[in-house]
């Protein structure tokens, strides 16, 4: 009697082990010999009914009761997927949808085919309509807050939508990156790493890059010249400022290393808020938001989140090169103060330059929890923009001990945000408002600004 269970794609491997023999399998009209070892990149393909989205740029499906995380698909689709990681002992599998049997109405032709199955990371939603990408991210944010933060946005009556940034709809979500990192493959061609791999996929261009980045790449022949294998190539082109090309961390100009004593290693970033321009000098290889509109968008959201802080003491944690520090210094006025803390030495050097002459700003270099432990002074408001791993329990406890009236949390990972929201809840802080921004179209990444009060 035939079984209604899906066929087991790894059955031949189990049989091979149990019988002490190697098994053969027909694939693509030819017979291949299978190893008894579970290959981390097996050639197995399975048919899947795709379920909901999950954090990380994939959807969830099930195969014979096992969870399969599938990329390059959409909820509700039926696909043929190639297993990229898995085996009979694996708790879950990873797979790429390589054939769409029933398509979602939100599917569009990929704007970046090189980021498709087997391709580079960094464009995993390139096959999804832009408005559907934002719904995808909203669903992930709500699910992470509900599961990890024990917060239901509907119960709090927080109607959160992932907001697009100016110009993105007109450009179809392309041409927004002012910074692009590349690496040379074994033949010397510039490209990017394959998803979850050290292998490099050579590229002819990068559609997420701004026109200025593309012009810099063309002028320096980045995609057409032959580099030494493994060379790191950084293209940096701030809006309204001269671009910089770094090769293995060193400035280049006109196709060769720039040996001039005044060779540029930094760039100027400008952010306009309420008619006032804030200017930042930032190391070209240092951290800065990559979306051309992100610095102004996030700073505006942070200033809205802190509210009236005239005369207040504000902690600016994980302050980087001072993106929020100098506008906060304006907001607190002559009677207030801003204490900025950053662990990266290069970023602190940039911040000291950018905050030069602002007596109301204190800059500290060191781990956030250590710096705050050495200075137990209270705070009226705390702003924090931690790395992807989040702030963590120790930092949250240190923040809570300062008893600020509100915490404004800028998050680049919804899971870390949800976890830290739960920690803050344990100290009496509740989610008062939440905004999310599509700072990285065609990827699963986005940022959120949460305001918590007690």
Residue 34 assigned ligand-binding role: no
Residues sharing a CB contact under 8 Å with residue 155, sequence separation 6 or more, in sequence order:
none
**DSSP H helices in 89-227:** 130-148, 211-219
With beta carbons less than 8 A apart as the criterion, state whether 313 and 380 touch.
yes
385 is annotated as contributing to ligand binding: yes
Which tokens belong to 235? 């293209």
Q: Measure the CA angle with vertex 424, ends 422 and 430; round to 5°.
A: 85
Rounded to whole angstroms, the maximal C-alpha distance in the chain is 84
Residue at token pair 């945000």: 417
Annotated active-site residue in 145, 384, 412, 439: 412
Is 318 part of any known ligand binding site? Answer: yes
**What is the C-alpha to C-alpha distance for residues 258 and 13, in angstroms, rounded to an integer?**
56
Query: Which residues, 6+ apart, have CB-to-CB distance to 201 below 8 Å?
Result: 114, 119, 120, 185, 191, 192, 193, 194
d(CA 384, CA 390): 10
Coil, strand or helix: which one is 184? strand
Q: Catalytic: 412?
A: yes
How far CA 80 is from CA of 23, 70, 281, 333, 444, in Å, comes to 23, 10, 49, 60, 22
Residue 77 neighbours by CB under 8 Å, 6+ apart: 50, 97, 100, 101, 102, 103, 104, 107
State the catalytic residues.
412
Binding positions for S-adenosyl-L-methionine? 289, 318, 342, 385
């Amino acid at each position: 009697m035939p079984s209604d269970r899906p066929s087991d794609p790894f059955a031949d491997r189990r049989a091979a082990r149990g019988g002490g023999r190697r098994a053969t399998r027909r694939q693509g009209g030819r017979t291949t010999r299978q190893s008894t070892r579970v290959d981390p990149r097996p050639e197995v393909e399975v048919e899947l009914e795709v379920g909901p989205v999950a954090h990380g740029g994939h959807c969830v499906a099930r195969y014979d009761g096992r969870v399969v995380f599938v990329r390059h698909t959409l909820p509700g689709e039926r696909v043929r997927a190639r297993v990229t990681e898995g085996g009979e002992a694996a708790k879950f599998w990873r797979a790429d949808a390589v054939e769409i049997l029933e398509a979602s109405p939100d599917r569009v032709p990929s704007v970046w085919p090189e980021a498709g199955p087997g391709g580079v990371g960094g464009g995993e939603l390139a096959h999804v309509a832009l408005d559907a990408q934002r719904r995808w991210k909203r669903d992930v944010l709500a699910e992470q807050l509900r599961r990890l933060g024990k917060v239901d946005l509907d119960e709090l009556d927080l109607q959160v939508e992932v907001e697009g940034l100016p110009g993105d709809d007109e450009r179809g979500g392309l041409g927004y990156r002012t910074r692009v990192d590349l690496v040379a493959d074994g033949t010397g061609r510039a490209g990017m790493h394959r998803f979850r791999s050290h292998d490099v996929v050579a590229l002819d261009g990068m559609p997420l890059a701004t026109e200025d980045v593309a012009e810099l790449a063309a002028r320096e022949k980045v995609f057409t010249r032959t580099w030494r294998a493994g060379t790191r190539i950084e293209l940096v082109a701030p809006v309204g400022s001269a671009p910089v090309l770094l090769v293995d961390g060193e400035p280049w100009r006109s196709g060769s290393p720039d040996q001039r004593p005044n060779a540029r290693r930094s760039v100027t970033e400008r952010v306009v808020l309420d008619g006032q321009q804030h200017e930042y000098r930032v190391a070209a290889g240092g951290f800065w938001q990559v979306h051309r509109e992100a610095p102004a968008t996030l700073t505006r959201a942070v200033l809205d989140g802190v509210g009236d802080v005239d005369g207040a003491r504000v902690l600016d944690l994980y302050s980087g090169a001072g993106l929020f520090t100098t506008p906060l210094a304006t907001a607190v006025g002559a009677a207030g103060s801003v204490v900025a803390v950053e662990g990266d030495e290069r970023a602190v050097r940039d911040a000291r330059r950018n905050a030069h002459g602002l007596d109301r700003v204190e800059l500290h270099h060191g781990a956030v929890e250590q710096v705050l432990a050495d200075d137990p002074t209270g705070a009226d408001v705390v702003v924090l923009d931690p790395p992807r791993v989040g702030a963590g329990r120790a930092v949250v406890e240190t923040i809570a001990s300062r008893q600020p009236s509100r915490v404004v949390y800028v998050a680049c990972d919804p899971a870390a945000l949800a976890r830290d929201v739960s920690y803050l809840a344990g100290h009496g802080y509740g989610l008062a408002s939440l905004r999310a921004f599509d700072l990285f179209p065609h990827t699963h990444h986005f940022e959120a600004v949460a305001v918590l009060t007690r």
